[in-house]
A and B are shown apart, each in its own frame.
Chain A
Amino acid sequence: MGPILGQLSKADLSAIDGTPTQREFIPCMLKDLVNWENRPEDLAGIAYEWCSVIYENPHHLQNWEGLLLLCLKFGFRHLDLQHQPIGGWVTHTEHHRGLIDVVFKSQEGEAIADVLHVWSASHTAQTLLSLCAGHLIDLHSFVPFSPRLRQLIIRSIELIGYKKFEEAGVEMFIGLLNHLQVTIEDIDFGFPWANLLLDTIQSSGGTKHLSHWYWEFLVELAAPESPWLELDFVRSLRTITSLTETKQWSKLECWMGSVWMLLPRQADAMAEGELGRSMLLLFHQRPGAVQKLEQWMEQWGQTHDRDIPESYKQICKQAREAAQQNAL
């Protein structure tokens, strides 16, 4: 099949520069290819090459943007999301940058998913994928998310990282995250997501706008990933202060759990003391948090075979005694 596909690719590329009649056949052929059941994976590389040539020669073709979307459809829509050997097949060119504008302007969810698929599966397309950050942050306002698109956006966010989204606009990015409601089943690996959430929470609008869903998600991620994550203690204290001032106790509860899990072994007594004061305030406002935090820390200790800090135990004990006295 390979030689025949190669022949077809050459035929199509030469037809773009050919007679008007030959060019008229191109959309027909693309529609025919889209109808092909069980298309081979090799088509991904061919379709991607065609995209580049079509973008390079728009004046030769009528409705060239529609042709680009057709190319994406027959090249990528049939591919399994979990199957990712695209990297070696596709050749990225400068013209592929043009796909971003065309695809996001079309507001066709599946076409956007096609582009995200090829770039997220190709390890040489990090640059191209990063350029999508600005378009992704407000995508949910225009395009309904299909399961495939949602999954690919989640994967793209994981690969793009926080920095690019911060440049595009943190508040809108948080809006996108709130819309996605990512779960542990949706992500490939916890470490990039835990890092991303730490950065997002500690950003300017993080404490205010990021939904409670992600604070709990962070606790879920922090437990297994804590040995590899780094916490800026000063910034985390700022977050605690912000949460206390705005009286968001449920978020503070999750944040406390995460901070304790990520606290380095050599954390000084002063740091633990700072955390202790905030915890007592939290337990005063939310007595049920004691049990929850203890449960999280116990799980964390068992996972990493680590002892729970003495100061932490002490604070929990004090909180429980205070609660008993109040009850009496």
Chain B
Amino acid sequence: MIERCGDRQRKCDGLEKWPLHFFVESLPVMLQVALLLLACGLCRHMWSINAPVARTLTGLTGLGVVFYIGIVIAGMSSYACPFQTPASNALRGSWKKVRHGITSSVVHSERMLSQVQQMWKRRVRPLRHQSPPTILLENVQVRRSEPWLKPQDLAIIRRTNTDDARCVSWILRNITDPEALDAAIRLAGEIRWFDDGVNVTPPYDLIVSTFEACLDSTKTLYPGSRGRAYYSVRAILWIHVLATCKSEEFARIFPLPRIKFTTPVPDPDLEHLYISDGIWSADLRIGLFLRTEPGHTPLHSQWISNLILHDSWANRTGLNYKTILYLVSVHKTETIIPLNTTLNRLLVWCILLGSPVEEEVLKVHDKSYSSPSFAVAQITHCPSLVTAWDPS
């Protein structure tokens, strides 16, 4: 099985390295161009033979072109449109770049203007012999509010999430292909299960048994099963914590399994997820997370930060602050924390400081799929924000 997976992976890598998709996608474009040229040539030829037939042909060709342009525009305007063409994809990409360029230019100009003003006030004025003005202590508050998560973005994320949940659940229950299973288990640790609109129950028992299957009778990992074990544990923890976010009672439907595997485990990431019910209390998890153990991969750090954020939010009223305080009192400084992880840390600090995490934080950041889930999970519980959102 591993050899087969390796072979497939090698082929997949080769496809990406030699951009096969480009050649495949260019075939319909060539067909379309050929059809257009044929129609144009035919029309031109017919004008010299029979004018009424030529007029009909030209009209039909024109209609075809208009229809094609309509399809391209429809595909460009919405990614969800089923009539996607290579042209619409290319145009959508170009439009995004142009829009990004305009936004960057505006921001850049504002910064430049601000700096020029600073220069003028601080540097040029003394040169002009004017005595520095007597400026009293005054309040200066220039903080621009950032845009909220737009309702249409939320709708897209919700729809994608629902589709993913349905898809993952179906694959885990019906498919036996190991590659598909691995991908589904990986995604199971990132989906916002139990959100509004997601009426799919996660195949929790299946994921737990998948993890158990990675261990032999001595509770040691089978060689080559590290990836599946790691992502299974992730999915188990994720589902359990998301259920805790709903309620304590609901979380009991998805209990953390009492599975122990023999330590030391192959890598720090997997070791970090070591499940032992009773020891992994929420306080301990938050404390250890804030101490930032070195050796984790950035992706793991980001994922775990997201998990801990949910965890701390779910347990915010029942946390043992003294335990956390004890655990965070020792600070390790050698670890460089990725930005996304830092943002989640900041939110955890907000919760620990006793502040309700407000709707203001509900902004989608430039993170991978899993990271903004907290924000989105919260916004789904605050529909008033969506309805109150004012595009102006």
Seen from chain A, the residues whose Cβ lies within 8 Å of a Cβ on chain B are 1-8, 10-12, 14-15, 18-19, 21-22, 24-26, 28-29, 31-32, 35-38, 45, 84-85, 87-94, 96, 123-128, 159, 161, 188-189, 191-192, 228
Contact = CB atoms under 8 A, between A and B. Distances in A.
A124 B138 contact: yes
Contact of B343 (A1, A14, A45, A84): A1
Given A188-B123, A189-B126, A21 B325 contact: yes
B25 interface: no
A4 B127 contact: no
B328 to A, nearest CB: 5
27 contacts: A1-B343, A4-B346, A4-B363, A6-B143, A7-B350, A7-B360, A8-B349, A11-B353, A22-B353, A24-B321, A25-B324, A25-B353, A28-B325, A28-B329, A28-B331, A31-B331, A32-B349, A36-B337, A85-B118, A88-B142, A90-B140, A92-B137, A94-B137, A127-B134, A127-B135, A127-B137, A188-B123
Contact of B349 (A2, A29, A84): A29
B205 interface: no
Given A1-B365, A3-B363, A36-B337, 6 more contacts: A4-B347, A7-B355, A8-B349, A22-B354, A85-B114, A228-B127
For the complex of A and B, the 8 pairs showing the least CB-CB separation, nearest first, are A11-B355, A15-B353, A11-B353, A88-B142, A11-B350, A3-B360, A123-B121, A21-B321
Interface string B310-331: 0000000000011011001101
Interface string B239-262: 000000000000000000000000
Interface residues of B, number: 55
Contacts of B347: 4, 7-8
B354 A92 contact: no
Contacts of A31: 331
B342 interface: yes
Contacts of B216: none
Given A12-B353, A123-B121, A85 B115 contact: yes
Contact of B127 (A10, A25, A32, A191): A191
Contacts of A21: 321-322, 325
Nearest to B358: A7
Interface string B344-367: 011101101111011011110100
Contacts of A32: 290, 328, 331, 345, 349
B333 interface: yes
Query: Which of A11, A12, A128, A189 has most B Cβ within 10 Å?
Result: A11
Interface in B66-95: none
A36 B141 contact: no
B223 interface: no
Interface of B: 111, 114-115, 118, 121-123, 126-127, 129, 132-146, 290, 321-322, 324-325, 328-329, 331, 333, 336-337, 339, 342-343, 345-347, 349-350, 352-355, 357-358, 360-363, 365
Given A85-B118, A191-B127, A25 B349 contact: yes
Nearest to A45: B143
Contacts of A228: 127, 129
B188 to A, nearest CB: 27
A4 B143 CA distance: 13
A93 to B, nearest CB: 7
A124 B140 contact: yes
Query: Which of B135, B140, B146 has most A Cβ within 10 Å?
Result: B140
A87 to B, nearest CB: 6
A255 B223 CA distance: 84
A125 B322 CA distance: 41
Contacts of B365: 1
Given A7-B360, A85-B118, A92-B137, A25 B352 contact: yes
Contacts of A128: 137
A96 B337 CA distance: 31
Given A1-B365, A4-B346, A161-B132, A91 B140 contact: yes
A302 B139 CA distance: 48
A87 B140 contact: yes
Contacts of A126: 132-135
A197 to B, nearest CB: 15
A11 B333 contact: no
Contacts of B324: 25
Nearest to B355: A11
Contacts of B360: 3, 6-7
A3 B353 contact: no
Contacts of A36: 337, 342
A45 B360 CA distance: 18
Contacts of B322: 21
Contacts of B358: 7, 10
A124 B123 contact: no
Contacts of A5: 346
A159 B131 CA distance: 11
Contacts of A26: 353
A84 B137 contact: no
A89 B139 CA distance: 10
A159 B132 CA distance: 9
B323 to A, nearest CB: 11
Given A94-B137, A189-B123, A191-B126, A35 B333 contact: yes
A11 B349 contact: yes
Nearest to A38: B339
A160 to B, nearest CB: 9
Nearest to B335: A35
Contacts of A90: 140
